[in-house]
Amino acid sequence: MYQSKIAGLGSYVPENVVTNDDLSKLMDTNDEWIQERTGIQERRHIKKGDGNSTAVMGVKAAKIALERAKISKDDIDLIVFATLSPDYYFPGCGVQVQEMLDIHTCPAIDVRNQCSGFIYALSVADQFIKTGMYKNVLVIGSENHSGGLDFTTRGRSVSVIFGDGAGAAVLTRSNHIGQGILSTHLHSEGKNAMELSLKGPSTMHWVPEIIAENPQGDDIPYYPYMNGQFVFKNAISRFSEVIHEGLEANGLEVKDINMLIPHQANLRISQFIQKKLKLSDDQVFNNIQKYGNTTAASIPIALTEAWEQGKIKDGDVVVLAAFGSGFTWGSAIIEW
């Protein structure tokens, strides 16, 4: 068995900043209401015509990660792309990235595990490297949420939360056993799938257009539904469980964590987990205040920023954890 390590990280968010005050002009909400419930101050949204899409943002993040990893695109053996907002029903974003980066005929896998998507994608990449099948894997999480949100008062409980963006990691084979990705832990519970769901079509013709075509519709299934309190209660329970599971699998304790990067779903969830685990502010990284919930992109964006800011150093124990629609949840334990 080989060991896999993260050799390079990159992220990209659109230039268009949307503040809480901006949203208050579109719906009955305000900055205080949003911050109190979510901790979010602003988020980034794609502007029509700016050239961005889910795949395009993924490519922009991937180019940075490849450069930092000092690995050529021609050395990539596998692409794993996590998203809930692909540009098309099919083909998937993985092959779009492959074409845009002009990568040879390597396999491309698309992962549809929503908020847990990057953890699942990281796990897939890790297993392929550990078994010796591949040496270098490009893992991407990218989301275009803004085109699928209802920016009226009716949709405010969901629409104030989400933002657009992408993050990427290059995983490579390492000869240093005990360093890199130590283990990943994945779970799902399908009986609660409809408590956080979207039953509608693709981002090419999505919520704003459909609402405009059917302004009187009272039961439009094309924007997200979320049972907020139910999701919150499950999230705080599963986050704690899967973090402890990962630590125990590697003979570690909570006190050994140098940096916890939770999926940026809601600042209140992250703060609750931090308090429950008795971690200091220096041991948890949050950036939801700036970007909102970017689903599969949230962990790689946050991981990239934490590393860029010098908050992650060689030898650190880094824990990634996520919970989301499905319900799905997971963790990754990394020795940097």
Indicate which residue of 144, 266, 287, 293 is catalytic.
293
Structure-token pair, residue 29: 């909400």
Q: Which residue matches tokens 């908050």? A: 311
Structure-token pair, residue 8: 């390079």
Q: How far apart are CA 113 and CA 74, in angstroms?
A: 28
Residue 79's contacts (CB-CB under 8 Å, 6 or more residues apart) are: 94, 97, 98, 103, 106, 107, 108, 109, 137, 138, 140
Coil/strand/helix, residue 91: coil
Indicate which residue of 106, 263, 266, 286 is catalytic.
263
Q: Closest Cα partner for 183 from 229, 126, 116, 258?
A: 126
Q: How far apart are CA 206 and CA 158, in angstroms?
A: 16
In eight-state DSSP terms, residue 47 is P
DSSP 3-state percent helix, strand, coil across the chain (nearest 5): 40, 25, 35
**Residue 93 is among the residues annotated as catalytic for this protein:** no
Which helix (H) or strand (E) segment holds residue 171: the answer is: strand 165-174
Q: How far apart are CA 304 and CA 282, in angstroms?
A: 16
Q: How far apart are CA 129 and CA 38, in angstroms?
A: 37
**Residue 293 is among the residues annotated as catalytic for this protein:** yes
Q: How far apart are CA 203 and CA 89, in angstroms?
A: 9
| Residues forming beta bridges with residue 17, ordered by sequence position | 44
Neighbours of 163 (CB within 10 A): 29
Give the type of residue at 14. Answer: P
Torsion, CA 60, CA 134, CA 294, CA 213, rounded to 10: 80
**Residue 115 is among the residues annotated as catalytic for this protein:** yes
Indicate which residue of 115, 185, 266, 286 is catalytic.
115
Q: How far apart are CA 78 and CA 126, in angstroms?
A: 11
Kindly list the catalytic residues: 115, 263, 293
